[in-house]
A and B are shown apart, each in its own frame.
Chain A
Amino acid sequence: MVPVNYYIILSAVLFTIGALGVLIRRNPLIIFMSVELMLNAANLAFVAFASLRGSLTGQIFVFFVMTVAAAEVAVGLALIVQIFKARHSINVDEMNNLKG
């Protein structure tokens, strides 16, 4: 018997760590991983509430979030590879124009 609040607090903690990673890291790959962590924290909250209510909708939504995350990672990593090829650097501080 675990109170659902514990899951929600854990989800909030993981989400905050992800947000902190986006804010303080300069490596776009780490920033990307932090975004994945935030998506994962949201998924945990979805499944916790779905389990609490005995409903399947939360689980199905998590399935869709996973699909979108997979698509996002494929395109995002391709972009990072291309930016590295063009500029020989992946520091986000230097990605300040759209001309490539």
Chain B
Amino acid sequence: MTMTIDLILFLILAVVAVASALGMLLSRIAVYSALFLVLNFGTVAVFYLLLGAPFIAIAQVTVYAGAIMVLFLFVIMLLGAEQLAPGKALPWQRPLAVLLAVTLIVEAAYLLISRGAAAGTITSPGIALNDMDSLRALGKALFTQYLLPFEATSILLLVAMLGAIVLTKPANGGRK
């Protein structure tokens, strides 16, 4: 089996992605967790580029690594969330969680590999990523076949915005 450039790139990025996810899980300070998660989202964006999805990759960087994580950092710093005292967790909770996680990954890997499209390789696009055809096709599909879900997401975002505003309104300002 020849080690192609794609495979080497994939393995390096996979190590970075898994390591940053573990760092998010294990770091005790919430800000470090958020920064590890930004790194993870960045590597996943590079995976999207390798998979030939440039629009999704850029949307990942702007929406996830940009907007969502900035919101997280704001809230962490607003609340001083890392002052959470190490409470009295249930003693059997952690081993049970690890056991359940191992079970989950074993059966997920088994099912996805045995029932999924098992055979098949993905060749990452080279110069083809740079032309406009994939973006044009994506936009056309989004605004013709998937127009109704697209409009529904606009209403969803409006409702979420209103919900956030109503929830964070000062408590005495809401009552007349």
A20 touches B101 (CB 8 A): yes
| Chain A residues with CB below 8 A from B163, complex form | 74-75, 78
- With a cutoff of 8 Å between Cβ atoms, the chain A residues found around residue B156 in the complex are 67-68, 71
A75 touches B21 (CB 8 A): no
Please give me the residue from chain A that is nearest to B14 by CB atom.
Answer: A10
Cα A83 to Cα B128 with chains together (Å): 49
What is the interface of chain A mostly: helix, strand, loop, or mixed? Answer: helix
- Chain B residues 26-83 with CB under 8 Å of chain A are 30, 33-34, 37, 40-41, 44, 47-48, 50-53, 55-56, 59-60, 63-64, 67-68, 71-72, 75-76, 78-79, 81
In this complex, what residue of B is CB-closest to A66?
Answer: B63
Q: Which of A15-56 contact B (CB under 8 A)?
A: 15-21, 23-27, 29-30, 32-34, 36-37, 40, 43-45, 47-53, 56
Contact B122 A74 (CB under 8 A): no
Q: Give how many A residues have a beta carbon under 8 Å from the other chain's beta carbons.
A: 72
Cα A89 to Cα B72 in complex, Å, equals: 17
Separation in Å of the B172 CB from the closest CB of chain A?
12
A56 to B7, CA, bound (A): 24
B98 lies within 8 A of chain A by Cβ: yes
Contact of A52 among B55, B120, B161 (CB under 8 A): B120
Distance between A77 CB and nearest chain B CB, rounded to angstroms = 5
CA of A78 to CA of B138, assembled, Å: 33
CB distance from B174 to the nearest CB of A (A): 11
Given contacts A74-B71, A79-B167, contact A12 B108 (CB under 8 A): yes
**A10-B18, A70-B67 are known contacts. Are A56 and B24 too (CB-CB below 8 A)?**
no
B6 and A2 within 8 A (CB): yes
Considering the complex, give the chain A residue whose CB is closest to the CB of B90: A93
Contact assessment for B21 and A14 in the assembled complex, using a CB-CB cutoff below 8 Å: yes
Q: Given the complex of chains A and B, what is the CA–CA distance between A72 and B123 in angstroms?
A: 34
- Once the chains bind, are A16 and B164 in contact (CB under 8 Å)? no
